[in-house]
Structure 1
């Protein structure tokens, strides 16, 4: 593994793993404690629509997926705020619509030669420099927003009614969280793919929740665990020449099972 680090693509993969681990650790913690994992899943799969449109128009895929995912997040936020009792139906519809739009536009693209598997299941060793810059900027934005609005996010995560009584705009921060989640999902697509991205958002956080007593500590532990899983999965992928996204998630699942078996409640 160490000799492979002399190659630029492996250096990019290592840097991407570090950056995305920070993002999923912070946003994954907020997603889990707010119980909106299914919403994040809907946004992740809907973003395929942006990938298909970007391929059809010949624009950068990352840009297309980002714009589509953010718009989807805002639509989902509006619809679920208006009718929370139908949240599951709304997410299911958006999920299917995004995937359908992506598939149709890819089919309409003449002579495309894009490796769509890397978007579905991830390929961290194929992360380009532009994606790393995107991840770096995203981390700066996430850290700045969460630090500045930490008390507000904490309030809406555990007691929305109390947050409203304190004058916090719950709907705004709910929407902001979904937008940040959509940006994180897009950044993680090249690492583990949109099929597996929810696992990377939730497994490290689920484990961190067993040991952390505070949301801030959960974010830190979740980021560290995500980094361990990503680096270990990258090593397994390189060693056995298998899919990096699947390797990362399987390492995380094995760790989850082992910790659950040996940790006393």
Structure 2
């Protein structure tokens, strides 16, 4: 297949649009996840979504919408158990993580015949993304941009110092639950990109890479969106050329970008250290 020929296919055009809007949504939410150290929570919500997918397949519902409802309830459950019921956060995450996967596997096995497109949900296949999936991701991206543009300071106050946020009369609990809901929605709408198994990576790797170059939250979001989109497109092209699964290669590309960036930053730090040491040597 010719390189430029790929652009003539509708499914590839849809995949590029999916990469763009998923990178925007994941760049915004992923930056929040990384700075608040909620990576384990996002992993729990991601794997718990299998429960909704299994129920959707069994009852004939839309698996994405079923997974979204299940993920939002799981996110609220983690927040409720850890903040109101005295359950350790890691225990709450592990319990709902396992519960969601167990429910999903039970319903998938109860479904007569072979579960259709199950591998796409587990490992991702962005080449199967539909026009409606792109619209949902685009709407989510616009909403997230608007929310963080209007309420970014309140969200950060609540994330880093909830006690201070309460003194400013901020609805801390409402903000926390709203952010958990956005994390769950972003996760589910991005499942087609890399699948349940690898989804946690696109919420963390581009953000970790961006964090190597800046600690400013806004700059981190912008840079992680650029890095995420570049990695997705590169992985998409290479997967098409090499005929390997797109989701797996997107994550592989993201990790390679992170390692290269890490090497560049380390070398720059060593060079700056040597220069500063040389300048501090007394004559």
**What TM-score, normalized by structure 2, do the two folds share?**
0.90
Deviation at 1:137, TM superposition (A): 1.5
**Residues 2 and 54 (structure 1 numbering): CA distance in 2 closer, same or farther, change over 3 Å?**
same
Of residues 7, 10, 17 in structure 2, which corresponds to 1:8? 10
Of residues 237, 241, 244 in structure 2, which corresponds to 1:242? 244
Q: SS of 2:257's equivalent?
A: helix
1:211 is the counterpart of 2:213 = yes
Q: Deviations over 1:44-73 (max 9, x none)?
A: 000000000000011111111111111111
Gaps of 5+ in 1: none
The corresponding residue for 2:65 is: 63
The corresponding residue for 2:180 is: 178
The corresponding residue for 2:262 is: 260
**Greater mean alpha carbon deviation, residues 230-239 or residues 104-113:** 104-113
Distance 1:91 1:42 in 2: 6
Taking only aligned residues, the RMSD between alpha carbons, in angstroms, comes to 1.3
Q: SS of 2:197's equivalent?
A: coil
1:27 is the counterpart of 2:22 = no
Asked if structure 1 preserves the Cα contact closer than 8 Å seen for 2:81 and 2:87, the reply is no
The corresponding residue for 1:117 is: 119
**Residues 161 and 27 (structure 1 numbering): CA distance in 2 closer, same or farther, change over 3 Å?**
same
The corresponding residue for 1:251 is: 253
**Greater mean alpha carbon deviation, residues 207-216 or residues 123-132:** 207-216
Distance 1:237 1:44 in 2: 24
**Residues 37 and 128 (structure 1 numbering): CA distance in 2 closer, same or farther, change over 3 Å?**
same
**Greater mean alpha carbon deviation, residues 233-242 or residues 159-168:** 159-168
Asked if structure 2 preserves the Cα contact closer than 8 Å seen for 1:154 and 1:215, the reply is no
Q: Which has the higher contact order (CA 8 A, sep 6+)?
A: 1
Gaps of 5+ in 2: 270-283
Deviation at 1:81, TM superposition (A): 1.5
Distance 2:75 2:198 in 1: 19
Deviation at 1:213, TM superposition (A): 3.5
Distance 1:7 1:165 in 2: 55
1:163 is the counterpart of 2:165 = yes
Mapping of residues 128-167 of structure 1, within 5 Å? 128-167=130-169
Asked if structure 2 preserves the Cα contact closer than 8 Å seen for 1:81 and 1:171, the reply is no
Q: SS of 1:222's equivalent?
A: helix
Asked if structure 2 preserves the Cα contact closer than 8 Å seen for 1:191 and 1:245, the reply is yes
Q: SS of 1:98's equivalent?
A: helix
**What TM-score, normalized by structure 1, do the two folds share?**
0.96
The corresponding residue for 1:82 is: 84
The corresponding residue for 1:92 is: 94
Deviation at 1:84, TM superposition (A): 6.4
Asked if structure 2 preserves the Cα contact closer than 8 Å seen for 1:62 and 1:131, the reply is no
Asked if structure 1 preserves the Cα contact closer than 8 Å seen for 2:20 and 2:229, the reply is yes
Asked if structure 1 preserves the Cα contact closer than 8 Å seen for 2:57 and 2:115, the reply is no
1:107 is the counterpart of 2:71 = no
The corresponding residue for 2:48 is: 46
The corresponding residue for 1:127 is: 129
Distance 1:85 1:232 in 2: 42
